[in-house]
Structure 1
Amino acid sequence: MLTRRSALVAGVAGAAAASTLAAPAIAQDTITWRMVTAWPKNLPGPGVAAQMLADRITALSGGRLKVDLYAAGEIVPGNGVFDAVSEGTAEIYHAVPAYWGSKSKGILLFGSQPFGLQAHEQFGWLAHGGGQALYDEMYARFGLKPFLCGNSGPQWAGWFRNEITSVDDLKGLRFRTTGVASEMAAKLGMAAQAMGGRDMFQALQSGALDAGEFIGPWTDSALGFYQVAKFYYYPGAGEPSSAEECAVNLAAYEALPDDLKQAVAYAAESLYNPVWTEYLTNHSKALQQLVAEQGVQVKKLPDDVLVAMGDAAGEVIAEFLENDDELVRKITQSFLDYRALMTSYQPYADAGQFQARELDYTFPG
């Protein structure tokens, strides 16, 4: 006969056994993804944003989808993350579309376009102008599902060892840049070179580069470019904004239950504005420090240089419209249509507000 005491002991033992059995079942239900990135770990700006994304996916999934981050070089080099996720070596990457022009010219437009879209316009094109469907179609060719997950805001024209006074000063200039901006630079007679931020510093220091752009004051100051080039030029018309992306191995994404697919999608979307505004805030602070503490000389590109850059960028985009790949032509036309829509409105909106700010009136601060 089972006594009250023996029943209680049996109940406790049974609960312990159930707990022991449940733990492996929960563990088995947890999915772990490897995120490979194009950045050094916690690099101010993109490295920080990548960690935010990994943490947010994990949190929004309730821990059922755990994302472990691997910085550039820990599993694959930074420029190898696209292929690593496409081939299934890792499940997700964090980088920028500007790095994948060798895959397709059309990819470049999802990241930045010379004289193109600002950060909020770039998101608007994908969310409301048909861009996301084209983004998905292009990346599906490589077995990937892409999402925008941040933006650096307006980038800078770059760090120069010598002053720029005319278009002629650009000819033969060895210049670090990426994406469509590199094709624009080539049309201006510049020797455009793609490389990571640390390599850019070493190349400027050794004289292998004459100038280069990376992101903006916050990230650029962390990489120390001010130590080897004192002239910091704006505006970065080559990249009015630069979208950051994550891309997931398509088979891994489709294997997820619907709620975890939504966790991934929402994690990316929900970070776009926080990442962009963090850049803007910290760029502003860093620029003040660069000028006050490091003696950086902020310079504006002459108008004739900007016009020449615009003409060169127009030639590049016209070539995209003649590309042999129909999808590249569709992406380019979609971008141009949305750009035209924004161009028709922004003089009354953002441009109008900035002009009003600059008038001579009394205001605190």
Structure 2
Amino acid sequence: MRSFIAGLLLSAVSLTLAAPAGAQTVWEMPTEYPATAIPGEGVATFAAIVNEKAGGRLTIKPSFDAARGIKSAAMIGAVQKGEVAAGDAFAGALGAVDPLFGLSSLPFLATSIADARRLTDLARPAYDKKLASFGQKILYTTPWPASGIWSKDALTAPTALSGLSIRTYDATSTAVMNAAGAKAANLSFADAMPKVKDGSVTAVLSSGDGGAGRNLWDFLPNFAEVNYALPISIATVNLAAYEALPPDLRKVVDDAAAATEQRQWTAIVTRLDENYARMRANKVAILTDVPAGVSQALAAAGKSVVDEWRAKAGAEGAAVLDAYRKP
């Protein structure tokens, strides 16, 4: 898989350099995640497909690790203003723009791949409508493996959350962890890593995928499988830039987006096992039997936070949540 993605990246770069000057449209497409994380692989896949099929008339220029200086929470604004034509962002962070985008990272709502897919499909029309108001459209979605807790010390005691200094990834997870007794801070990975390295942050809420992408095992050698959520990232494109393309290039973009989405939701099926194998190879202790006290504290905190989200998200968000919860 890694060699495949490396090949896609090489293809994308090669085609960018090979296209004749003045004969192409170039779209920058950043993500704050590493090329080896599943959203990074999505950006690389989409770019390589478009660059191959567009014959040099349209080139996607991907970037990773927030190299463009744009983190997830700012991605909608950057695409709307045309600072970049397209971008990938963690949906939970986009909750700062509109609460609706926090849906997929609500605690203990979607805890399986099938549930995450159903929730995403139900929410897609609402996401489309909301993004259109920001002058953009969805290209594809990327699922993340289930979020767990990376920590310096193993969470083996029922009171382990008390006072834990933990990085969270959106307002909802921050509220949950604080309510469960931890000391939480909503930080992007780019902002969190210096604090992890200096020891002021001693735990991180993330998937095995996100942790592996940042080599968290160098600082936080324990992972608790709390199955907090299976959130998504969303890749979008500036609607004016998309509509300015001739019909045949719009079809290239649409086909590449569909192929990338299929690839991302297929890849997630084996991702957990791949991540766990890599984590164990790097001496991570994976705790699958989480103490009841920890699970109960998180579940209790999560319920009230979901209710608060429902009120903030309004009728549109509540309708999606109700449709998902129907038997």
Asked if residue 336 in structure 1 is aligned to residue 321 in structure 2, the reply is yes
Query: Which residue among 81, 99, 105 is the counterpart of 1:87?
Result: 81
Tell me what 2:13 maps to.
Answer: none
Cα RMSD, aligned residues only: 2.7
Residues 231 and 139 of structure 1, relative CA distance in 2, 3 Å threshold: same
Question: How far does residue 87 in structure 1 lie from its aligned partner after superposition?
Answer: 0.7
Asked if residue 284 in structure 1 is aligned to residue 277 in structure 2, the reply is no
Question: How far does residue 88 in structure 1 lie from its aligned partner after superposition?
Answer: 0.8
| Amino acid aligned to 1:287 | Y
Question: How far does residue 119 in structure 1 lie from its aligned partner after superposition?
Answer: 3.5
- The within-5 A match list for 1:120-135 is 120-127=114-121, 129=122, 131-135=123-127
SS of corresponding position for 1:272: helix
| Amino acid aligned to 2:83 | T
| Amino acid aligned to 1:210 | T
Query: Which residue among 39, 42, 45 is the counterpart of 2:38?
Result: 45
| Amino acid aligned to 2:58 | L
Tell me what 1:214 maps to.
Answer: 206
SS of corresponding position for 1:163: coil
Residues 85 and 278 of structure 1, relative CA distance in 2, 3 Å threshold: same
Answer yes or no: is the 8 Å Cα contact 1:57–1:65 preserved in 2: yes
Tell me what 1:56 maps to.
Answer: 49
| Amino acid aligned to 2:286 | V
Tell me what 1:159 maps to.
Answer: 150
Answer yes or no: is the 8 Å Cα contact 1:38–1:81 preserved in 2: no
Counterpart Cα distance in 1 of 2:138 and 2:278: 36
Asked if residue 296 in structure 1 is aligned to residue 284 in structure 2, the reply is yes
Question: How far does residue 166 in structure 1 lie from its aligned partner after superposition?
Answer: 4.9
Spell out, residue by residue over 1:230-253, the C-alpha distance to the aligned partner (whole angstroms, 9 max, x if none): 22100322x2x1212111112222
SS of corresponding position for 1:175: strand
SS of corresponding position for 1:252: helix
Query: Which residue among 156, 161, 164 is the counterpart of 1:170?
Result: 161
Tell me what 2:241 maps to.
Answer: 252
Tell me what 1:31 maps to.
Answer: 25
Question: How far does residue 167 in structure 1 lie from its aligned partner after superposition?
Answer: 5.2
Answer yes or no: is the 8 Å Cα contact 1:37–1:93 preserved in 2: yes
Tell me what 1:316 maps to.
Answer: 305
Tell me what 1:4 maps to.
Answer: none
| Amino acid aligned to 2:227 | G
Answer yes or no: is the 8 Å Cα contact 1:205–1:228 preserved in 2: yes
| Amino acid aligned to 1:54 | A
Counterpart Cα distance in 2 of 1:301 and 1:255: 52
Spell out, residue by residue over 1:295-323, the C-alpha distance to the aligned partner (whole angstroms, 9 max, x if none): 32211322332233222222112112222
Answer yes or no: is the 8 Å Cα contact 2:167–2:201 preserved in 1: yes
Spell out, residue by residue over 1:137-158, the C-alpha distance to the aligned partner (whole angstroms, 9 max, x if none): 2122322212433212323x12
Spell out, residue by residue over 1:34-93, the C-alpha distance to the aligned partner (whole angstroms, 9 max, x if none): 1122224x2333222211121223334454332111334443333443321111111100
Answer yes or no: is the 8 Å Cα contact 2:145–2:271 preserved in 1: no
TM-score (norm 2): 0.81
**How many residues in Structure 1 have an aligned counterpart in Structure 2?**
304
| Amino acid aligned to 2:80 | S
Query: Which residue among 109, 115, 129 is the counterpart of 2:108?
Result: 115
Query: Which residue among 116, 132, 135 is the counterpart of 1:140?
Result: 132
TM-score (norm 1): 0.74
Answer yes or no: is the 8 Å Cα contact 1:197–1:214 preserved in 2: no
SS of corresponding position for 1:162: coil
Counterpart Cα distance in 1 of 2:114 and 2:245: 30
Tell me what 1:195 maps to.
Answer: 187
Residues 183 and 147 of structure 1, relative CA distance in 2, 3 Å threshold: farther
